[in-house]
Amino acid sequence: MRTAVISLFIALAALETLVGSFLFLYDGTPFPSLIRRPLSPGCGETPLQGLVANIYPQPNESYPLAKDQAFVTICSSDDYCRGALALMLSLRQTGTTRHLVVMYSPKEISPSTLTILQQFHPSLHLVPFDPSAYRPSQRTIDELERIHKPHWKNSFTKLAAFSLTNFTKVIYIDSDSLVVQNIDELFLLPHFSCTYQSNHEPCSPRTVDEEDDTFQHINSGLFVTRPSQRLFQELMGHLADPSAVWWNGDQQILLHHFGPQWNRLPQVYSVGIDACACGPDVYRPSSIKVVHFYKGKPWSPPSSDRHPCTRSFYRLWQQYTRNITTTP
């Protein structure tokens, strides 16, 4: 019943979203986009400032902000901060009316990256945080090393999104993602809603916009929540438990805390970049809302044997970031 209600909310909200223009990225094959301005510098401006100006409207244009809602992402390295800015640009390009927040680690990024963040756009909210506050127990770190996922010890920083109590609702998105269609409809959904890890093989005979009744785990690459200090402290309490072993990263903490009381989002909100290689029976370009570079980061060039469609997503990311390499 809960899944049906969520699907109804999404369907009703999607009716208000303008989807009709197409961006041709490879071999003339389109996938949907709301890109309405060219991704090119403006005359007389530095490349990054021109790119931002082409995407962001002027203050008196038609993007009224929902004052108490925001999209948020986190970055704690130069590469992930580039990804964060690409994600923010893709959100604005697809017409969001919500605030945009980047939580960043001042100690782990270069001075030039910090300058880019600070000069990016006045409406971008920058929130510094300390990743060391989200370090898991040594037992968890040892277990992640044992199962060859040592990098997952950094995933617990996502819990910082639950501390943004100046907003009544936030949508967290991993910074190695791109939004290709407007997703503001997700703000209509209840807390706690998130994507999930499918048990199906990537190219199983099931399309990305169909329901999956075999899910087991939360996928925290995108989630909808109502931040609160109480909730934040409860989650941090789980993290600090010296007897706990969170072998599935922050996702296991979230699953432990919410149990069955979480709302599953359709897979269209977290589509792996290789999904389009599965063919038209599985990959439906018109259905995809968010692409996630969880297998092969967007700042690393794709191998030549990757599917043309997959490489097209890399090219889209490069369009957003080609001028986010030097201080404006």
- Nearest-angstrom CA–CA distance, 316 and 308: 12
Q: What is the pLDDT of residues 6-28, one digit of tens each?
A: 555 555 444 433 333 223 232 23
Residue 328 is assigned to a structural domain of this protein? no
Q: What is the CATH number of the domain that holds 201?
A: 3.90.550.10
Please spell the DSSP secondary structure of 79-95, one letter per residue: HHHHHHHHHHHHHHHTT
What percentage of the chain has pLDDT greater than the value 70?
71
Question: Quick one: which of 91, 93, 102, 46 has its CA closest to 322?
Answer: 46
pLDDT of residue 19: 32
Q: Which domain holds residue 250?
A: 2-321
Residue 127 is assigned to a structural domain of this protein? yes
Give the mean pLDDT of 93-114. Answer: 94
Q: 281, exposed or middle or buried, with CB in 10 Å at 0-12, 13-18, 19+?
A: exposed
Residue 51 is assigned to a structural domain of this protein? yes
- Nearest-angstrom CA–CA distance, 94 and 82: 18
Residue 8 is assigned to a structural domain of this protein? yes
- Count: domains in the chain: 1
Question: Quick one: which of 316, 309, 322, 314 has its CA closest to 297?
Answer: 314
- Nearest-angstrom CA–CA distance, 252 and 217: 8
Count of CB atoms within 10 A of residue 64's CB?
7
Q: What is the pLDDT of residues 255-310, one digit of tens each?
A: 999 988 899 998 889 888 877 777 766 667 778 899 999 878 989 877 777 778 78
Residue 104 is assigned to a structural domain of this protein? yes
Residue 37 is assigned to a structural domain of this protein? yes
Q: What is the pLDDT of residues 146-180, one digit of tens each?
A: 998 898 899 999 999 999 999 999 999 999 999 99
pTM here? 0.80
Going by pLDDT thresholds of 50, 70 and 90, the confidence category of residue 216 is low
pLDDT of residue 108: 93
Residue 327 is assigned to a structural domain of this protein? no
Residue 134 is assigned to a structural domain of this protein? yes
